[in-house]
Amino acid sequence: MAGVLHIVGAGIAGISGAVAATAAGKRVSLYEAAPQAGGRCRTVSGPDGFTHDNGAHVLLSANHAALGLIERIGARDAWIEPEPQGLPVYDAGTGALARIGLSPWRWLRRDQRPPGLSLTDLPRLARLAAPLADRSIGPLFAGSALHDHLVEPLTVAVLNTPVARASSARMGQALRRVMRPGGARLLVAQNGLGPDLVDPAIAWLSQRGVALRTGARLREIGVEDGRAAALVFAGKTITLAPDDTVLLALPPAEIGRLFPQIAVPESFEPIVNAHFSLDPALPATAAPRFIGLVGTVSQWVLVRADHLSVTVSAAEEYASDNPERLLARIEEEIAPALVAAGLSCVIGEQRRLVKEKRATMTQNAGGAIFCPVSPLRGLAIAGDWIGALPATIEAAAIAGSDAALALAGMRP
């Protein structure tokens, strides 16, 4: 009988690899160091019972690999479009709220155009979307009103890197996908990443005989004759059969520790998320909502029925701030944006700041593109840091399924 595919790391890349390989008829074992699957995509529940995602995660309808995974595990209906009429963006400087279409095609409608859009912006946007030499995005939009109202917020959201140094080539990869017809719908998990992504994936795998072993931190890999012969976990060693294969779906630092000869990203950017309970909860019909802010520390607010989550990406400047002070500042600055968006919600008692110090790798202009390499026969690596796309759920889903199918001999 064909060997087992051992997948280490149950973030999105590992889950995507496990689902793809299982669907292709492979036997799979999945190992995860943390007590739960999901990695950087997870629902967090504190001792006070306050439950929310580590950070608000959005997908775009152009994210075909991520949505294909979600469809396959039966969770597609839970990913819904919170702002079908265009994204509400509140400008703290003017107090105005504009609805902005995410695709340039929607700008043909005056009521979905970014404020300040002028004819001279169109060639700059075309240049950003074209497969040209990599440059920093910020200077391409110097002097344009679009810089503050569209380009900076989108760049920081997609690349989690300050716009002044963010890579036009990586952004262009995303834009070309989004600009295809139907690609620019913004989607969120209605109930959260646990219930609408990670839990159904693990249940789908479990129904097909794939066990997830949590608390399994890979320490070393035993090598014989150029192949992985053993996976040495804390407290347990798995001896591999000659036809077994291994997919390491691990963060860059772990790949670098296990295989120092492999080049991995060494610079990362933080994301800070502030979560506030709502009391009373909103009527189910009023949520979820998704609101952008400019001119504030807060960049996006995802409003769910019983809590809201505020995202601050590329948050180096705020990552070491006093949490209480930052929570108070964010609470104060989102209040008028919520009112402008027609939401009358009352912030409750529970609040939490989640700082993800290594939320994604830095995606600067001129930065390296990390290719999938195989340091041993029958062993592959995967993660959001591999490939030319922005480091996102989509990149992780593609890297995971490509690597798993390649190990199964179903992809080059």
Our finding on whether 334 is near ligand FAD (CB under 6 A) is no
Question: Segment near ligand FAD (CB under 6 A), from 17-25, 301-309, 321-329, 352-360?
Answer: 352-360
Our finding on whether 312 is near ligand FAD (CB under 6 A) is no
Our finding on whether 32 is near ligand FAD (CB under 6 A) is yes
What is the spatial distance between Cα 67 and Cα 77, in angstroms, rounded to a whole number? 11
Our finding on whether 168 is near ligand FAD (CB under 6 A) is no
Question: Segment near ligand FAD (CB under 6 A), from 32-40, 67-75, 118-126, 366-374?
Answer: 32-40
Q: How far is the CB of 363 from ligand FAD (least distance, A)?
A: 11
Between 156 and 340, whose beta carbon lies closer to ligand FAD? 156
Question: Segment near ligand FAD (CB under 6 A), from 25-33, 97-105, 113-121, 135-143?
Answer: 25-33
Between 249 and 314, whose beta carbon lies closer to ligand FAD? 249
Between 60 and 150, whose beta carbon lies closer to ligand FAD? 60
Our finding on whether 398 is near ligand FAD (CB under 6 A) is no
Residue type, 334: I
Q: Which residue of 83, 91, 196, 384 would you call a contact of ligand FAD, by CB under 6 A? A: 384
What is the spatial distance between Cα 215 and Cα 140, in angstroms, rounded to a whole number? 47
Our finding on whether 221 is near ligand FAD (CB under 6 A) is no
Applying CB under 6 A, the site for ligand FAD has a residue count of 37
Question: Segment near ligand FAD (CB under 6 A), from 78-86, 196-204, 289-297, 353-361?
Answer: 353-361
- Restricting to residues 254-273, which ones interact with ligand FAD according to CB under 6 A? 254, 271, 273
Our finding on whether 396 is near ligand FAD (CB under 6 A) is yes
And the tokens for 116?
Answer: 């300040």
Q: How far is the CB of 12 from ligand FAD (least distance, A)?
A: 4
Q: SS3 sequence, the chain?
A: CCCEEEEECCCHHHHHHHHHHHHCCCEEEEECCCCCCCCCCCEEECCCCCEEECCCCEEECCCHHHHHHHHHCCCHHHEECCCCCCEEEEECCCCEEEEECCCHHHHHCHHHCCCCCCCCHHHHHHHHHCCCCCCEHHHHCCCCHHHHHHHHHHHHHHHCCCCCCEEHHHHHHHHHHHCCCCCCCEEEECCCHHHHHHHHHHHHHHHCCCCEECCCCEEEEEEECCEEEEEEECCEEEECCCCCEEEECCCHHHHHHHCCCCCCCCCEEEEEEEEEEECCCCCHHHCCEEEEEECCCCCEEEECCCEEEEEECCCCCCCCCCHHHHHHHHHHHHHHHHHHCCCCCCEEEEEEEEEEEEEEECCECCCCCECCCCCCECEEECCCCECCCCCCHHHHHHHHHHHHHHHCCCCC
Our finding on whether 183 is near ligand FAD (CB under 6 A) is no
Q: Are strands 4-8 and 245-248 parallel, antiparallel or unpaired?
A: parallel
Between 59 and 117, whose beta carbon lies closer to ligand FAD? 59
Q: How far is the CB of 289 from ligand FAD (least distance, A)?
A: 16
Between 277 and 392, whose beta carbon lies closer to ligand FAD? 392
Q: Which residue of 169, 343, 391, 398 would you call a contact of ligand FAD, by CB under 6 A? A: 391
- Restricting to residues 41-100, which ones interact with ligand FAD according to CB under 6 A? 41, 54-55, 57-58
Q: Are strands 212-213 and 186-189 parallel, antiparallel or unpaired?
A: unpaired
Q: How far is the CB of 344 from ligand FAD (least distance, A)?
A: 26
Q: Which residue of 302, 312, 359, 389 would you call a contact of ligand FAD, by CB under 6 A? A: 359
Our finding on whether 40 is near ligand FAD (CB under 6 A) is yes
Our finding on whether 112 is near ligand FAD (CB under 6 A) is no
What is the spatial distance between Cα 35 and Cα 121, in angstroms, rounded to a whole number? 48
Q: How far is the CB of 341 from ligand FAD (least distance, A)?
A: 19
Q: How far is the CB of 188 from ligand FAD (least distance, A)?
A: 9
Between 62 and 249, whose beta carbon lies closer to ligand FAD? 249
Between 103 and 311, whose beta carbon lies closer to ligand FAD? 311
Q: Is the dihedral of CA 321, 323, 325, 330 positive or negative?
A: positive
Q: Are strands 300-303 and 289-294 parallel, antiparallel or unpaired?
A: antiparallel
CA angle 64, 66, 68 (to 5 degrees): 65
**Residues binding ligand FAD (CB under 6 A):** 8-14, 31-34, 39-41, 54-55, 57-58, 216-218, 249-251, 254, 271, 273, 356, 359-360, 383-384, 391-394, 396
